Structure 1
């Protein structure tokens, strides 16, 4: 009853109790975003596949206004399943996988370059920014209450003693976290620019989701190609057995 601003002090202690976990979660998410950006930029296999897609598109559009293109929009990757052959089953994605598998098989496992892609697809930078700002504001309120408590006398003596050391350490950590967030945010915006997109119209989340869906569609098409090839091989062997030499019993039975 005698503690001044007891509600503010309780909020400060609550912030202190949650600080380490909250800071660790934000830092982990930032590292995941940063890793995803670097993995995508450094994937030579993805670059090669993008070149093949561009070449394939130019071949299909030869002689039209869309031919001889020097690039394509990132969301075009997801349209490879829209173009179908006359059987209405085989898509351009199936054809791409078939060509790559036969001529550049080393590219088929390009998804292994993206260790952080799926985890990064679950992170929203806006929500992360809100969490970051919440930590900054929480520290500001702590510092404000600490200054005010220094004039409370003996009733706030223990409070001040326990919070001073924490405030110094937390302040350094928050500054480090803020610098890391700024760097990662710039890297995330740079990922859109890397693909020739405007970060305002194609934010980090859209880039990551598009690439993740492309990876999934690519792998699914390749699996379907493999299953179809295995089935065709099985049917060929079955036909060969049917048309092959008759057994000795069959010859004896019908050759008399």
Structure 2
């Protein structure tokens, strides 16, 4: 994805901020705890915080959280739902924080939107020595037969290659920032996945998939057709046709330490 495409996709969420806040899943608490495990202290930056899905879990774990988010509508939702959290407007490439001011930087379903060549040094700048950088992604568990079928029917705009465990590992292979500008800033990456799930009904799962960036930037006619296909698939499956069900997921984590 080139820079213009990244900007188009990453800026699409504001128009659906309320739906994002209502329908997107949180993160497995065990995944967030693992991400923070090596951090030297409790000061955490939630970068690309969106509407606060990851922020809320960090608060529940007792972290001293600062949230940074570039989109005004998303930031408004976060401030509404978590009024006690320090929430700032800003981008990964130009962080509104002083040097060595946080012990961990976490990004929930956001790191792939960053220009890492610029964001890497910025993240290293605000991290204290020995601090942790971790990206978290919720991916669907396509080892479950009906979930694999859903991914196939939905298409890459709704469930892309990065949204399954194997695809996620490939897509994040170059995101660990082992070297930036020839100088090492971060150590070797560690990865882990933690079981997670989201209680849904068919309509709310359709609404969740509709908040994916690929869906949001689609022409309206194509988007409506894709959502119709998804609804028809869910109606055809015994696992999802009647009442509530759990969407099987993993909260997958990529973790590195600042040198």
Q: TM-score, normalised by structure 1?
A: 0.25
Structure with bigger strand share is 2
TM-score using structure 2 length: 0.25
Who wins on radius of gyration, i.e. which is larger?
1
Q: Which has the higher helix share?
A: 1
Larger RCO, structure (CA 8 Å, separation 6 or more) = 1
